[in-house]
Amino acid sequence: MPADTTPSTQTAGPTVDGDELIRFEKVTKSFGSHTVLDSLDFSVDSGKHVTLIGPSGSGKTTILRLLMTLTKPDSGTIRVNGDYLTHEEKNGALVPAGEKHVREVRKNIGMVFQQFNLFPNMKVLRNVTEAPVTVLGLAKDEAEQRARELLDLVGLADKADAYPTQLSGGQQQRVAIARALAMRPQVLLLDEVTSALDPELVAGVLDVLRDIARSTDITMLCVTHEMNFARDISDQVLMFDAGHVIESGSPEKIFGDPDHERTREFLSAVR
């Protein structure tokens, strides 16, 4: 049976309230017979730092991958800034989005992965300037100036001419953060960004992210097992289980006095 990717409303347009940046509506995603996300609804407001927590396999990474269009929903809609990621308007009707539309909407989104995925054959500076020059069409000088500012922000101003293999995992991850920010995204997606690091390198990366959260107005959507970090930087925490948000609230509420027994079990298992 063909997947139902028809949005619930047939008219495109500025249907977003206030400053809502991301909106998932009835998003379902299965792999084979395993339904990972089940009619999922949630939203993220502009400028907020939202953290997704929950057991392994509950669908958190899948949410980030859907936003990056690395995978597609079986049904439901995803909007970024009011624009459908999965659909576009043609002749007054919504149709499945073409590549150009997806690229435009996705320009607003940056992602940092567990494995840093730097270009090994390029120096650090070029890793950060490559996409702004080739995708955004920035002049090389301007891209380099911005890249140096960002390398400074992540504490690596002196590593611009190093190759990724000459850096520690923590330093590589900080380059990956600078590279994502170089595209000036409105939202930064962070997928377990410290889970591939040796324990002594975790704090440096989390400190950089805390700084970015404090000093910029970027929206963040984080998947993390670092509960102290989640408590520190989050405006809102969403607890996931089996493809649903089972509860959401401030870090004080979720970590201090959760309503749901599953949340209590999960938190006592990871603490």
Binding site for ligand ADP (CB under 6 A): 31, 36, 54, 56-62, 223
Q: Minimum Å distance from CB 109 to ligand ADP?
A: 17
State which residue, 133 or 242, has the beta carbon closest to ligand ADP.
242
Give the DSSP letter string of 133-193: HHTS---HHHHHHHHHHHHHHTT-GGGTTS-GGGS-HHHHHHHHHHHHHHT--SEEEEEST
Q: Minimum Å distance from CB 12 to ligand ADP?
A: 28
State which residue, 76 or 164, has the beta carbon closest to ligand ADP.
76
Q: Minimum Å distance from CB 58 to ligand ADP?
A: 4
State which residue, 143 or 188, has the beta carbon closest to ligand ADP.
188
Distance CA(169)–CA(194), nearest Å, equals 9
Q: Minimum Å distance from CB 124 to ligand ADP?
A: 29
Q: Minimum Å distance from CB 167 to ligand ADP?
A: 26
State which residue, 23 or 60, has the beta carbon closest to ligand ADP.
60
Taking only Cα atoms into account, the Rg of the chain, rounded to an integer number of angstroms, comes to 19
- Given a contact cutoff of 8 angstroms between Cβ atoms, the answer to whether 119 and 130 are in contact is yes
State which residue, 14 or 32, has the beta carbon closest to ligand ADP.
32
Secondary structure letter of residue 3 according to DSSP: -
- Classify residue 8 as left (phi > 0), alpha (psi -120 to 50) or beta: alpha
Structure tokens at 62: 């899948």
State which residue, 167 or 239, has the beta carbon closest to ligand ADP.
239
Report CA torsion sign: 28, 76, 40, 108: positive
Task: Of 49, 51, 43, 64, give the one whose Cα is nearest residue 189.
Answer: 64
State which residue, 31 or 119, has the beta carbon closest to ligand ADP.
31
Q: Minimum Å distance from CB 240 to ligand ADP?
A: 6
Q: Minimum Å distance from CB 262 to ligand ADP?
A: 14
Taking each helix axis from N to C end, the angle separating 140-153 and 199-215, rounded to the nearest 10 degrees, works out to 120
